[in-house]
Chains A and B, each alone.
Chain A
Amino acid sequence: MIRPGPRDITEEELHAYVDEQLPYDRVCEVQEYLAAHPDDASRVAAWRLQVTKLHERYDHVLHEPLTDRFCVDTIVAGSNAAWKKIAAAAIVAFAIGAGAGWFGRDVSELGRDTDAARALASAAIEAHRMYVAEVRHPIEVRADEAHLVPWLSKRVGQQLKAPDLGAEGLKLMGGRLLPGPNGPTALFMYQNAGGERVTLTTARSPGEGETSFQWRAEDKIGAVAWFERGLAFVVAGPAEQAKLDRVARRVYEAYEIADNAAGK
């Protein structure tokens, strides 16, 4: 603390001195004061060092090249296009009547559903990372046990499927139940002949929203996430977008076909 000195320098003025926010006419007085008070001078020096260290540690970020996600024009163009679609669709729907089909509806969910999808994808990637590395017990229940799908469906609270991904060279190993951000979460694990593993994580989605496929990659693991019919889906595997995208579409179709068959 500052001892009341002849010149009445306050602690706030010392901060302002370090931050170069001190009125010009006080700078010399503070310097005189510091010359006479080594304790405060060393405090000030330590604060200065912190500033230097912060800049040393973080200034490099200023010079990192910016990807598209930080380009205002790109973001504006994206959301404008979305709004225009919606505006156009609304006018058409208005003109034709509410019976008209209308697409492009949820392209506008810039940020809302994507937050949830992002969180879910991160959780799924983490689960993927944890259990794919597992050699002895990657799964709880093997694929050949008949109760696998009914059990997971019951816990998640919706009819689930373990889609046949044979066309992608993937064979179902089995599944396990995980705690997730939206309650019980089912994880199905698949493996190809080369031992590469892909997981399908399914849980109840936080809302009724539906989204298009969203891609996320973290550290060599990629994920495609989407919400559909009250469920959230994440397909995670080695970060090859085209491949995971195909798997995601198979999963999507498997649910679609089942629903159509059920006459929904």
Chain B
Amino acid sequence: MAWGYLAIKPKEYSGVSPRSFVRGIEMAILSFALEPPMTAVRRGLQPLIPALRRFARALVRNSEGADDLVQDTIVRALRGEHLFHGGDLRTWLFTILLNLDRNRRRGLARKPFLAVIEDVDPPGDPVADGSARDIARGLALLPPEQREVLLLVTLEGMSYREAADAQGVPIGTVMSRLSRARTTLREYLDGELPPLRDVSNMGKRP
């Protein structure tokens, strides 16, 4: 299911566009100035990818979208590795991922017709228990910010400080989001909340 550039290029020749021309010159200069490339991000990134994928899967619910999100995060991190000035790489990567996801959601809101390929319980997912009180469905009830906090803290085991950094909010906000998320989820799992209809279909045309 991966995206890839095919070896073929429809056309073999094209004119010079000024923007790309300037960028090319910039990169030519940079490639001399920056050799050898900064590798702290690259070295640290690979071992964190499984965790990013797990987090994205829980955040986005459909595995295709989740993997796209993680891939975009990697590309963005590599492209901006000069912006990483030490500190906690994991927190930095999760910040990128959360921002990309927010952009993605904004995009979906603007272009609802694109929100069509959400598969609720992907057939390949072995652990979907199929019950109406599945934790994944409970997660979907939470506002995104609450879902983010809950997953950062529980699934990812981040400290409250790290979660606050990743979300770019004060710790107090993290605590109140966490509290609300846990309350809602508890009510849902205890059967006090009705299993809502599947919100991922909302973009679909009838």
Contacts and interface: CB of A to CB of B under 8 A. Distances in A.
Given A57-B127, A122-B114, A105 B17 contact: yes
Contacts of B46: 71-73
B127 A123 contact: no
B49 A66 contact: yes
Nearest to B134: A57
A122 B1 CA distance: 12
Contacts of A55: 154-155
Interface string A34-74: 00000000010011011101111111111110111111110
A61 B128 CA distance: 12
A35 to B, nearest CB: 21
**Interface bracket on A:** 35 or more
Interface string A93-127: 11000101111011110110011001100110110
Given A54-B151, A87-B24, 12 more contacts: A15-B178, A57-B134, A62-B54, A76-B78, A91-B28, A94-B25, A101-B15, A105-B16, A115-B72, A118-B3, A214-B6, A218-B117
Interface of B: 1-6, 8-17, 20-21, 23-25, 27-28, 31, 42, 45-46, 49-51, 53-54, 57-58, 64, 67-68, 70-72, 74-76, 78-79, 107, 111, 113-114, 116-117, 119, 126-128, 134-136, 150-151, 153-155, 159-160, 175, 178-179, 182, 185-186, 189-190
14 contacts: A46-B190, A47-B182, A50-B135, A57-B58, A60-B126, A69-B4, A83-B27, A84-B31, A103-B14, A108-B20, A119-B111, A212-B6, A214-B3, A218-B1
